[in-house]
């Protein structure tokens, strides 16, 4: 029997085959793409060193045997390992920016990125007035870097407890040449932040998956660091600590933007007296909340 790399001659052939493999294996998506076609396109274009946003001109191009073999191997690894595509390619894209990733960090995908690209309009009236930003639970550093790109006047602290994650953060700071504006700090939330430091904006994508949901995670998500996902029985363990300490590190008009995924019901049960503003993005609703310092302090 002929092997796939000898029968699949064009990129179009490989794409059809890859989608069939993905669907047949019941892969789960959500780490940069949400369907088999988009993920197959990304992996194949990456394997062929082609522009990731340019598919059409290459669809009917015949490939060299070694190129076909490289593509087949990558598709096979995605199916058999169930690793997110970003771990196979070593990169992830968010708001058009490239980030280096591996299994020391979760794959960048926070919808907070979309809000940062819009400079949190209309909640922040003057982006130039934002001079201090904190990204808690920074992981790969993607939100810290996007915050620095969004707010030209800002110094950004990127905080994480994991030294492995911070090594990835440092790589991405260097990749984006932001060593002068983004600082990686190892800290258990606010513990190592100077008591006098105040931020105009705190963004945070903390571990928030409740314990029941953790047991049901698909294999793709189980490749990510557990400490970056698990949020305790109701998902709110770290959120409680963040809301308790955040007002002491916000400026008078400072804002906290917090992602809680699909845990809105647990959040409302845990904090019945808080009335946050729920922010919507193109990909998420009721997953991100905004709180002002005055609300937190009260």
What pLDDT was estimated at residue 284? 80
Residues 70, 143, single domain; the answer is no
Cα–Cα distance, 83 to 164 (Å, whole number): 19
From the number of C-beta atoms within 10 Å of its C-beta (0-12, 13-18, 19+), residue 16 rates as: middle
CA distances to 12, 223, 237, 257, 273 from 104, rounded to whole Å, are: 34, 9, 22, 24, 36
Does residue 94 sit within a domain? no
From the number of C-beta atoms within 10 Å of its C-beta (0-12, 13-18, 19+), residue 60 rates as: exposed
Residues 228, 278, single domain; the answer is yes
Domain boundary among 89, 118, 145: 89
CA distances to 115, 212, 258, 271 from 244, rounded to whole Å, are: 24, 25, 13, 11
Beta strand 250-259 with 199-204: parallel, antiparallel or unpaired?
parallel
Rounded average pLDDT per 10-residue block, the chain, 298 residues: 72 97 97 95 97 94 95 98 98 97 97 97 97 98 98 98 98 98 98 96 97 97 97 97 97 97 95 95 90 93
CATH of the domain at 176: 3.40.50.150
Q: Look at the chain and report how many structural domains it folds into.
A: 2
Residues 79, 107, single domain; the answer is no
What pLDDT was estimated at residue 6? 72
Helix and strand numbers (H, E) in the chain are: 13, 9
- Count of all residues that appear for the chain in the document: 298
Residue with tokens 């007002």: 247
Residue 199: closest CA among 129, 149, 116, 269: 129
Cα–Cα distance, 158 to 145 (Å, whole number): 9
What is the domain extent for residue 9? 4-89
What pLDDT was estimated at residue 5? 63
Cα angle vertex 234, ends 215, 147, to 5°?
A: 95
CATH of the domain at 29: 1.10.8
Does residue 98 sit within a domain? no
What pLDDT was estimated at residue 282? 86
DSSP annotation of 183 reads: E
DSSP annotation of 90 reads: T
DSSP annotation of 72 reads: H
User: 162 near 131, Cβ under 8 Å?
Assistant: no
Cα–Cα distance, 62 to 219 (Å, whole number): 34
Residues 208, 259, single domain; the answer is yes
User: 99 near 35, Cβ under 8 Å?
Assistant: no
- Rounded to a whole number of angstroms, the distance between the first and last alpha carbons of the chain is 71
Residues 139, 280, single domain; the answer is yes
Residues 84, 116, single domain; the answer is no
């Amino acid at each position: 029997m002929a092997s796939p790399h000898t029968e699949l001659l064009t990129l179009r052939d490989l794409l059809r085959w890859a989608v069939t493999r993905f669907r047949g294996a019941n892969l789960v998506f959500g780490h940069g793409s949400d369907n088999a076609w988009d993920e197959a396109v990304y992996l194949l274009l990456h394997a062929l060193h082609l522009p990731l946003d340019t598919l059409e001109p290459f669809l009917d191009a015949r490939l060299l045997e070694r190129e076909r073999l490289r593509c087949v191997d990558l598709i096979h690894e995605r199916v058999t390992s169930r690793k997110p595509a970003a771990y196979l390619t070593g990169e992830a894209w968010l708001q058009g920016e490239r980030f280096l990733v591996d299994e020391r960090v979760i794959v960048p995908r926070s919808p907070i990125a979309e809000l940062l690209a819009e400079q949190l309009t209309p909640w922040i009236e003057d982006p130039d007035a934002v001079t201090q930003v904190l990204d808690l639970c920074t992981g790969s550093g993607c939100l810290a870097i996007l915050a620095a790109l969004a707010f030209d006047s800002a110094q950004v602290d990127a905080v994480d407890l994991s030294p492995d994650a911070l090594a990835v953060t440092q790589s991405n700071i260097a990749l984006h040449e932001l060593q002068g504006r983004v600082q990686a700090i190892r800290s258990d939330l606010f513990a190592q932040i100077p008591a006098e430091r105040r931020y105009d904006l705190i963004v945070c994508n903390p571990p928030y998956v409740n314990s029941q949901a953790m047991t049901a995670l698909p294999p793709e998500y189980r490749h990510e660091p557990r400490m970056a996902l698990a949020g305790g029985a109701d998902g709110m363990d770290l959120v409680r600590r963040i809301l308790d300490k955040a007002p002491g590190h916000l400026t008078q008009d400072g804002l906290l933007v917090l992602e809680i995924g699909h845990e809105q019901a647990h959040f409302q049960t845990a904090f019945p007296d808080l009335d946050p503003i729920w922010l919507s993005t193109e990909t998420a609703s009721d997953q991100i909340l905004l709180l002002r310092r005055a609300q937190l302090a009260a």
